[in-house]
């Protein structure tokens, strides 16, 4: 491991240990001309090591954007507005700028293509009272909805969450410890798969508010998970979006949480 400056923060729960600031990850962000934070909690081999670039920002809350589709899918399943991964939700016929959105959807396509209209439909069907109940039940960020039920997790919405809180939530999901049926938690984790090798699986979700990009999830190994949460500014808008996963991949390779780039 490259030289790192250790400092102590006082986060809650499973992150209550010394965070190690990674100077080499600062170079990854600099090379990518990116301003943001990356928090990694490595729980392989029965121990916990917390690594960070920009620890102060890792505790700062931002709108979750489409990373909220992870808990929101659990809400929809628990509320009965989504039955399973096979249920088809009819497209409303409104042409949108992303071609993949202009079609019928199911939970898998909705997660993969980050279909905003589908989750806005879920929000309407779940309703404000139940949305608020679920947010408080899982202690998600500031748990605020405000007065815009269809957009509270999007740009301009009231809901905010930090990188630290994202990982605390993901840890509970990984262990099926959220207050939802275990079958629903396992289904959501299946929907989150984005890449896999012979002995590793990446489960995660991107998010973009228009101004801020997210990439959160974990790499699953036989000897334990490595959780990650990145958020970064996106001044170049869509041109910056590939940097989210690129930065995380490069950082995870420095701790051998992902195989070398081919």
Catalytic residues: 66
Q: CB 21: neighbour CB atoms within 10 A?
A: 15
* Dist. CA 192–CA 206, nearest whole Å: 10
Ordered strands of the 212-221 beta sheet: 4-8, 18-22, 49-53, 36-42, 224-233, 212-221, 201-208, 193-196
Assign residue 147 a region: left if phi > 0, alpha if psi is -120 to 50, beta otherwise?
A: alpha
CB atoms closer than 10 angstroms to residue 67? 28
Strand partners, 18: 8
| Residue 227, SS3 per DSSP | strand
């Amino acid at each position: 491991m490259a030289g790192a400056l250790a400092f102590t923060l006082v986060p809650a729960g499973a992150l209550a240990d010394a965070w190690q600031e990674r100077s080499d990850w600062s170079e990854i962000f600099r090379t990518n001309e990116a301003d943001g934070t990356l928090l990694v909690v490595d729980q392989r081999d029965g121990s916990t090591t917390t690594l960070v670039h920009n620890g102060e920002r890792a505790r700062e809350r931002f709108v979750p954007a489409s990373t909220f589709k992870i808990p929101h899918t659990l809400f929809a399943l628990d509320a009965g507005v989504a039955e399973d991964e096979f249920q088809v939700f009819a497209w409303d016929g409104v042409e949108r700028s992303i071609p993949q959105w202009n079609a019928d959807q199911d939970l898998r396509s909705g997660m993969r293509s980050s279909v905003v209209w589908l989750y806005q439909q879920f929000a309407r069907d779940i309703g404000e009272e139940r949305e608020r109940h679920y947010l408080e039940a899982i202690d998600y960020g500031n748990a605020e909805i405000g007065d815009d039920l269809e957009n509270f997790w999007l740009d301009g919405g009231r809901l905010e969450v930090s990188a630290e809180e994202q990982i605390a939530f993901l840890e509970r999901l990984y262990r099926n410890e959220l207050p939802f049926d275990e079958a629903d938690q396992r289904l959501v984790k299946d929907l989150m798969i984005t890449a896999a090798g012979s002995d590793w699986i990446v489960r995660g979700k991107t998010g973009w508010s228009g101004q801020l990009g997210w990439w959160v999830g974990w790499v699953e190994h036989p000897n334990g998970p490595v959780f990650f949460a990145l958020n970064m500014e996106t001044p170049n808008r869509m041109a910056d979006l590939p940097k989210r996963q690129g930065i995380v991949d490069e950082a995870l390779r420095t701790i051998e949480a992902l195989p070398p780039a081919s």
